[in-house]
Amino acid sequence: MSRFVYADNAATTPMSESVYKAMQPYLTEFYGNPSSLYRVGREARRAMTEARMKVAKALGAAEPNEIVFTGGGSQADNLAIRGYVKGRSAKGRKHIITSKIEHHAVLYTCEALEKEGYPVTYLNVDSQGRIDLDQLKEVISDQTAIVSIMAANNEIGTIQDLKAISEIAHAHGAVFHTDAVQAVGHMHLDVQAMGIDMLSLSGHKFRGPKGIGALYVRRGIALEPLVYGGGQERGLASGTENVAGMVGLGQAIEDATGENLDRKMGYVKGLTDKLVEGIMKIPYTHYTGDPVNRLPGTASFVFEAIEGEGLILRLDNAGICGSTGSACSTGSLDPSHVLMAIGLPHEIAHGSLRLTLGEQNTPEDVDYLIEKVAEVVAGLRAMSPVWVDGKPDLSAATDLHSHHH
């Protein structure tokens, strides 16, 4: 009997029963437009207000109206960076600082702004994915508008020192935005204690619905809207509100933070530690990311003499959902920008595997993952032209990747 193990919680998570139940009345009974004055509208507005309070509380925000609901994490990232540099608060400063390992929602926003005349610095990271704070100190100036650095990386799980980054940003009069889409509900965050001025999050990364997210915007920061229209969300994200989504996000963040967070983190970290220990027994395997300061559920590796794509397809046949930063199916021939930024050699970066666990995973899942990954890696190596006499031999093939070119 084959099992089904979902180990791709960094891609998305299954919606929880409690979120589903909380949302239902707002999809059926209370369908009113929150701007309407009659009862089904008023009830929708009340629920929206409550959801906003839950998000504010979970982040340690000073006031609920510092929370702007958006259509997901990507929209929150776009609004933060573009909205800030185009807005009044930037006071004409144009320079943007980010890192080489950001999500594309941040990277491509910065690239687009670069074409519009905003200079961007992409900070380097070390071999474990930690940004270079000395480089940040060197490149920041009184022309820097915003520093945008992710809280935790979606591919390798590395957590950044947010407090240290915000202090450097503030010392130069820049604001600090963090893409915390992977972090919320998976590690402790407090926008006031950590000096975070803007923070992006997304419901579906912590068992809420897809297509709903939020941007925390510290009081006093004036952003230029992303979408113009009816003036919803303080005019920053116009459009009739996704009330059920907001209610679901509120429920999910309440379930994932506060007292529940430590219990969940401890459980998931225990599973992940066991998984890492098991997978690292496979010969010629390298752990990627920071082994200590990492998200509790993220385990990422590279296997020498393996193709990530083949690995994912064979694991799928064994009922396992994982992901790779090396898939050519994503349309690019290169391994992911994150694996390149941590300095992995090209040949090795092609064999990456990311397994991300959640609270719904079990110890039996972990045993099964270890067993099947070892089996699939051995099977693929047996067929690999660069696997000779039980070890990698790069001289055996001119180019491991030649069939793609």
Ligand X SMILES: *Cc1c(COP(=O)(O)O)cnc(C)c1O
Q: Which is nearer to ligand X, 249 or 373 (CB)?
A: 249
Stretch 206-245 residues interacting with ligand X (CB under 6 A): 213
Q: What is the CA radius of gyration of the chain?
A: 22
User: Segment contacting ligand X (CB under 6 A): 163-171, 179-187, 231-239, 285-293?
Assistant: 179-187
CB of 273 to ligand X, least distance (A): 22
Single out the residue of 55, 67, 105, 295 in contact with ligand X (rule: CB under 6 A).
Answer: 105
Q: d(Cα 330, Cα 218) in Å, to the nearest integer?
A: 36
From 328, 394, 396, 397, active-site residue: 328
Q: Which is nearer to ligand X, 45 or 103 (CB)?
A: 103
The yes or no reply on residue 341 touching ligand X (CB under 6 A) is no
User: Segment contacting ligand X (CB under 6 A): 71-79, 242-250, 261-269, 361-369?
Assistant: 71-79
CB of 211 to ligand X, least distance (A): 7
Stretch 281-340 residues interacting with ligand X (CB under 6 A): none
> Measuring CA to CA, which residue among 298, 288, 289 is closest to residue 357?
298
Single out the residue of 202, 242, 300, 361 in contact with ligand X (rule: CB under 6 A).
Answer: 202
Instruction: Note if 110 is an active site residue.
Output: no
Residues 130-169, mask of contacts with ligand X (x by CB under 6 A): --------------------x---x---------------
- Contact by Cβ (8 Å): 394, 386: yes
Stretch 76-95 residues interacting with ligand X (CB under 6 A): 77
Single out the residue of 74, 99, 148, 288 in contact with ligand X (rule: CB under 6 A).
Answer: 74
> Measuring CA to CA, which residue among 391, 396, 281, 402 is closest to residue 346?
402
Q: Which is nearer to ligand X, 121 or 160 (CB)?
A: 160
CB of 105 to ligand X, least distance (A): 5
Single out the residue of 179, 233, 255, 347 in contact with ligand X (rule: CB under 6 A).
Answer: 179
Pairing of strands 213-217, 67-70: antiparallel
User: Segment contacting ligand X (CB under 6 A): 57-65, 177-185, 310-318, 350-358?
Assistant: 177-185
Instruction: Give phi and psi for 309, each to the nearest 5.
Output: -65, -45
Q: Which is nearer to ligand X, 297 or 392 (CB)?
A: 297
Residues in contact with ligand X, counted by CB under 6 A, come to a total of: 14
Q: Which is nearer to ligand X, 213 or 351 (CB)?
A: 213
User: Segment contacting ligand X (CB under 6 A): 82-90, 134-142, 174-182, 308-316?
Assistant: 174-182
CB atoms within 10 A of CB 229: 11
The yes or no reply on residue 182 touching ligand X (CB under 6 A) is yes
CB of 203 to ligand X, least distance (A): 7
CB of 157 to ligand X, least distance (A): 11
Residues classed as catalytic: 328
**Residues interacting with ligand X, by CB under 6 A?**
72-74, 77, 103, 105, 150, 154, 179, 181-182, 202, 205, 213
